Amino acid sequence: MQIKFKKILSALLAFALALSLFTATASAAVNVPVNVAATAGVNGVTVTWTDNSDDEIGFYIFRDEGGSPPITRIGTVPANTTSFLDTTAVGGKTYTYYVAARITEGSYTFMSIGFVLTVPVGKPAAPTNLTANFDLIDFSGVILTWKDNANNEERFSVYRRVAGATGWTSVGTTPPNTTTFLDATVAAGTAYEYMVQAFLSPNYSDQSNVATVTTPPAAPTGLTATAGAGGITLNWTNNAPAATLFYVARKEGSGSFAGIYGGTANVTTWVDTTAQEGKTYTYLLWVYAPAGGGWYSASSNEATATMRPLAPSGLTATAGWGGIALNWTNHSVNAAYLQVQRQHEGSGFYLVADVPATATTYLDTTAEAGKAYTYRIMAVAGDGSGASSNQAAARMLMRGDANVDGKVTAADAAAILRTLVELQTLTEEGKLNAKVTFTSGAFSAADAAKILRWLVDLELIL
């Protein structure tokens, strides 16, 4: 009884709407369609009817939801057609379908008796054309894209597994009508498989095709750059055991990076021997792995170093009566200048003099008699950085100090006499100090006598 009443009510609504909205043109040959029916299918609701007219120009298909206004026209088909596919019907909802024959443009017969159908909830159409590509611009992860073939999904579910594994793991969902997803949780240097399903409660669609992608190798980390005499040494941590090559890029100052070297990836150190003295360089590097068709990693952190001038070498220090003479070999071609530095009695090195960058000798006339000094020569760049030579030591001569103990006493006269009778041997420095008579030749007993006379204030020796 309730169904009959509902059908009557639907017919009355259709009749009232047709009277109020349109002008129905009577015709003996154009009649109202009969036997209207609706059947839900995988692709939508198929509406069918019996063509009860001879010369209609087409048919209008109408629908309301739940048996209540508004009645909406959802389609138009040509004359002599007896079916229509409603692809906009939503599972779980109840619709009433009507069909009217078109008489002329804009006019039509009364609507047919309505057919009520509750659309069952079925599986949404499965996504297709799934692709997976790694983001090589920002290295943010794997980007998935697919074709949305459903018109009623509530969401899409994205699944992932390591290539060759069984079973899927959910990695995220997207809103309806979405056709892309970013998986930012992937590991470096790994082959993955992806699958997507549409969901309409309580059903999932069939699975999409499977898309496969291999992620790039992990980038090197902890890059450092240290300037030394032979160049700038780079050190880093290799995080990609499967990588086969590494590449180094360098820029000078605020310039642009350019590749300067490529080598086997199973190393974690490399020396840039082309770095020029006094220049500042910034480095970065990346690795390459052949898996998945070949991938380059993201770049490492940047590391900066200033190449110091090449240090002088072969420094010697020789004491003489005019001072301590220094000699060295100069290797730098870009040093701004050289520094002569010295230390004595446990002090730190301090500046004695700045000399031209091309100098190879220096006489330290400020050395005090009897004091021992250690020297080094520093090649200094324009930014103040530098590299030092080897160290060389010498004691400034002290007249009369034959035993080289830093003072003149009777023991020095005795050392001279003992050496003359071959009971003792003076050092080379002691031999120079022993010569106080300012005569030519080697020291003699006269030098010992002069020292003794000086000690009792009878004669000067200095």
- Whether residues 48 and 138 fall in one domain: no
pLDDT band at 197; cut points 50, 70, 90: very high
Rounded CA-CA distance 139/183 in Å is 11
**Sequence-separated (6 or more) residues with CB below 8 Å from residue 204:** 123, 157, 197, 198
* Separation of alpha carbons 129 and 116, rounded Å: 37
Torsion sign (Cα): 39, 42, 45, 46: negative
Query: Is 231 within the bounds of a domain?
Result: no
Q: 6 and 83 share a domain?
A: yes
- Based on the domain organization, do 33 and 100 belong to the same domain? yes
Domain count, the chain: 5
Question: 93 with 32, same domain?
Answer: yes
Mean pLDDT for the stretch of residues 72-93: 92
- Whole-angstrom CA distances from 27 to 19, 54, 156, 414 are 16, 10, 52, 155
Please report whether residue 400 resides in a domain: no
Q: What is the pLDDT of residue 458?
A: 64
Q: What is the pLDDT averaged over residues 245-261?
A: 95
pLDDT of residue 451: 78
Amino acid 23: pLDDT: 39
pLDDT for the residue numbered 452: 85
Confirm whether pTM is higher than 0.75. no
For residues 224 and 245, give the distance between their C-alpha atoms in angstroms, rounded to a whole number: 19
Give the bridge partners for 375, in sequence order. 342, 392
Tell which of 257, 275, 306 closes a domain.
Answer: 306
| pLDDT value of position 4 | 47
Residue 299 reports pLDDT greater than 90: yes
Q: What is the mean pLDDT of the chain?
A: 87
The first and second tokens of residue 203, run together, are 């059903």
pLDDT over 90, % of the chain: 54
Q: What is the pLDDT of residue 120?
A: 79
H or E element in which residue 454 lies: helix 445-455
- 326-348 pLDDT, tens digit per residue, is 999 998 877 889 999 999 888 89
Are 124 and 153 a contacting pair, CB within 8 Å? yes
Domain end, chosen from 214, 246, 280, is at 214
Q: Which two tokens stand for residue 358?
A: 């091309």
pLDDT in tens, 120-174: 767 889 999 999 999 988 999 999 999 999 988 999 999 999 999 999 999 999 9
What is the Cα Rg of the chain in Å? 50
Verify that 113 and 132 share a domain, yes or no: no
Residue 233 β-bridge partners: 226, 271
CB of 307 closer than 8 Å to CB of 231? yes
Report the alpha-carbon distance of residue 357 to residue 426 in Å, rounded. Answer: 39
Q: Judge whether residue 200 has pLDDT over 80.
A: yes
HSE (CB half, 13 Å, CA atoms) of 218? 14
pLDDT number for residue 462: 55
C-beta atoms surrounding 420 within 10 Å: 17
Provide the angle, in degrees to the nearest 10, between the axes of the packed helices 445-455 and 410-420.
Answer: 170
Domain with 442, as residue range(s), is 410-455
- Report the alpha-carbon distance of residue 20 to residue 435 in Å, rounded: 140
